[in-house]
Amino acid sequence: MIPFAIPFPIAEAPDSDPRLASRLHAFHDEDVLGTRLKVLVNSPSAALAQRVTAAARSEIDRLNLVFNDRRQDSELSQLNRARAMSVSADLFAVLELAETWRGITAGAFDSRLRELLRAWTGAVPQRPVIEQSLHNLGGAQIRLDPKRRGVDLSPGTHLSLDAIAKGYIVDAALNAARRTAPGIEGLAIEIGGDIRCWGDSPICVGWRIGIPDAMRPADNAPLVDAVSLKNAAIATSGRGPRDCVGSHYRSTTISPFTGYPVDEVISASVVSSHVADADAIATACLVLRPEESIALVNRLDGVAARIIDARGQVHESSAWQSIRLAAAAPTKPEAKKLAPAPEQQKAAGKPPLLSPELRWPNDWEIGIRYVAPERKEDQRASDFRSPYMAVWITDEENRPVHTTIMVGRDVQWQRDNHIWFSSHRDRAKQLIDLVSQATALSGRYRIFWGGIDDDWQRVPIGKYVLHLETSQERGKHSYRSIPLEIGRERFRKQLENLPESGGLEITYGHYNDRFEWEE
């Protein structure tokens, strides 16, 4: 699930007061709940913003001990073992909410799928295993007693709350942050694609949230839509970089009806008042057929959805248009005035831009996998010292060609990454928002470059240089580069994974095989 967790490009609001942008304080952590945390605070004081963020993360850490069934000491793991016990107010609230959405979605959302989810971890399970898990699911029962917050699980019932608990944690983190510092004017918290917004962005009323192209499951996929949210939430479920297994994609969402990964819908973005609700609805929208999902969403007050099916067709609920950002326009190559192919130029009576021998091979791309440095849990710091990263392309003379990805939008961090900043000073403000996005993978990014520059013009084959630069807040700075010769032959290269900067694996070839890496 990978919506951009930062406002829609600030560069599209050129008349805004630059002094307002200085009120936006951004914080980033690479390893929270197995994914990434981003916090944006509209505050006149950096110290106040830091306090807000610390409160949010403290709440996240507390609730991780409640809902993380991968930890044997979590409350949810204890419940799965004990079968019957009195639980905390947080766990009981999420179980009640999960049961409510199971009823509303007629079973398309179900918290009882732990056995099936475990069966699909790794190799494809045998059909008898799936059938047995479906049989157990059919008899799974949960009894809730509100008076004592008691939970009773029938034999064979195993709970997994990932599809709703992460949203609940984001909601709780935002509430905790607001209680800590009532003087802030706006706040947006994102964990692995689940976003809750409150108040105003310093740039405009509400927060501008972009949605990337689901047909391009990479961390630098172009935006295809955007919404403006004030006191609301958005969750996007579906195909993303984490779903890549070798060179193939397999959804991590399992249908409770078939026992197999969903494949008819590849992405569902849902806006609601709370992330927990949006999370559950988005999951159900992956399981149901698009027409069923749209009918469901249209019956729900205050909910809007945008769904992409496996053919790339867009399905929108009736309320989606009302929240769409007015300035939002597709940022696919076609909308960015990508230079026509030579054949089109010739048909139009114009000379081709590139001679045949210089043309970038059709549908060939550079695929990049960035792996961040490993970090021990006890190295986490309250000031978020995770590496921020830039990957960009230059020509042989070191002239900027294309910034593939930028993780971290703080202006001071841009200056700390002084090599990139010195080359892109005039475009830095535009690029930082245009290419940054959240990912569902902790410490890993999948990126592509299809032979276009930052103005969306085609570039010829030839010699280029790929640059990797990382910084830590008040920490180490690193810079490395690797030459690339783009021609008609596939290649694979890498920059060694180093403790201070991480590493890169690079492939060049046809679009369909650019991510053929060994995990």
- The CA angle 212-213-218, to the nearest 5 degrees, is 80
Tokens 């799974």 belong to which residue? Answer: 140
The predicted structure's pLDDT at residue 123: 82
> What pTM value is reported for the model?
0.82
The C-alpha atoms of residue 187 and residue 177 are separated, in whole angstroms, by 9
Q: Which two tokens stand for residue 33?
A: 């709940």
245-266: average pLDDT: 83
pLDDT-derived band of residue 351, with 50, 70 and 90 as boundaries?
very low
Give start and end residues of each alpha helix (H) in 69-161. Answer: 75-82, 89-104, 114-119, 127-138
Per-residue pLDDT reduced to its tens digit, 267-317: 999 999 999 999 999 999 999 999 999 999 999 999 999 999 999 999 999
Q: How far is Cα 116 from Cα 125, in angstroms, rounded to an integer? A: 10
**Of residues 28 and 230, more confidently modeled:** 230
**95 vs 104: CA distance, rounded Å:** 14
Average pLDDT of the residues in 488-495: 91
Split at pLDDT 50, 70, 90, the class of 441 is: low
Closest listed residue to residue 295, CA positions, set 313, 317, 265 = 317
Contacts of 290 (CB under 8 A, 6+ apart): 264, 265, 307, 309, 313, 315
10-67+163-323 CATH pick, 3.10.520.10, 3.10.310.10, 3.40.250.10, 3.90.650.10: 3.10.520.10
CA distance 406 to 467: 12
H/E stretch holding 393 reads strand 388-395
pLDDT of 386 above 60: no
Crossing angle (nearest 10°) for helices 89-104 and 75-82:
70
Q: What is the pLDDT of residues 159-188, one digit of tens each?
A: 999 999 999 999 999 999 999 888 899 999
Share of the chain above pLDDT 70, in %: 76
CA distance 90 to 72: 18
Per-residue CA distances from 386 to 232, 349, 391, 470 (Å): 28, 53, 16, 10
480: β partners = 468
What pLDDT, on a 0 to 100 scale, did the predictor assign at position 424? 56
Rounded to the nearest 5 degrees, what angle is found at the Cα of 335, between the Cα atoms of 330 and 336?
A: 115
Task: Enumerate the domain spans of the chain.
Answer: 10-67+163-323, 75-159, 342-513
Per-residue DSSP letters for 107-129?
Answer: TSS-TT-HHHHHHTSSSPPPHHH
Measured in whole angstroms, how far is the alpha carbon of residue 257 from the centre of its chain?
Answer: 27
User: What does DSSP say about strands 388-395 and 462-471: parallel, antiparallel, or unpaired?
Assistant: antiparallel
Residue 141 is predicted with a pLDDT of 93
Cα–Cα distance, 58 to 179 (Å, whole number): 13
Distance (Å, rounded) from C-alpha 44 to C-alpha 142?
48
pLDDT higher than 70, residue 475: no
C-alpha span between 125 and 130 (Å, rounded):
7
How much is the mean pLDDT over the chain?
80
Topology of domain 75-159, CATH = T-fold (1.10.3980)
Mean pLDDT in residue range 72-83? 96
**Residue 507 scores a pLDDT above 80:** yes
